[in-house]
Amino acid sequence: MNQLRVIWAAILMSTIIYFAVLWTAMHERPFTRSLENALRDPRTIGAYVVAIVLYFAAFMISGSIERRHAKDARRAAIIRFAILESVCVVGVVIAFLEGDWRLYLPTFVLAFIGFARSLPRERYEL
């Protein structure tokens, strides 16, 4: 397994660890309001907008770096992974603010899609 795949797997695992921490910390707590009301909260909507912007920024920024400097493809991939992880961090923040671990799931799914699209291939090997 090459180094870039190890980095990819480690960052992906960190997003799963975020979920485990959230669920462990919050699963026994009663929800203060319904999921529907939490999803309509302006803070939640704003956080999800930020997460979506970060998702697209991950691909735009890393693509721009790759186009300008082909030899920096590995660096661009690592930057993409880090920005995709930040999508999950937004979900962690909103889940803690709202006290509902379920609010993390949309950001996790979005980041997971990004990680699946970013699985390192041989072209990054140096």
Question: What is the tens place of the pLDDT at every residue in 47-66?
Answer: 999 999 999 999 999 999 88
For the beta carbon of residue 16, count every other beta carbon within 10 angstroms. Answer: 12
Range of the domain at 56: 3-124
Number of domains in the chain: 1
Token code pair at residue 35: 């999921």
Look at residue 44 in the predicted model and tell me its pLDDT: 93
- For the record, the structure tokens of 97 come out as 């603010």
Residue 96: what are its φ and ψ, rounded to 5°? -70, -40
Q: Do residues 112 and 85 make contact, with C-beta atoms less than 8 angstroms apart?
A: no
pTM score, whole prediction: 0.85
To 10 degrees, the CA torsion angle through 56, 109, 42, 50? -20
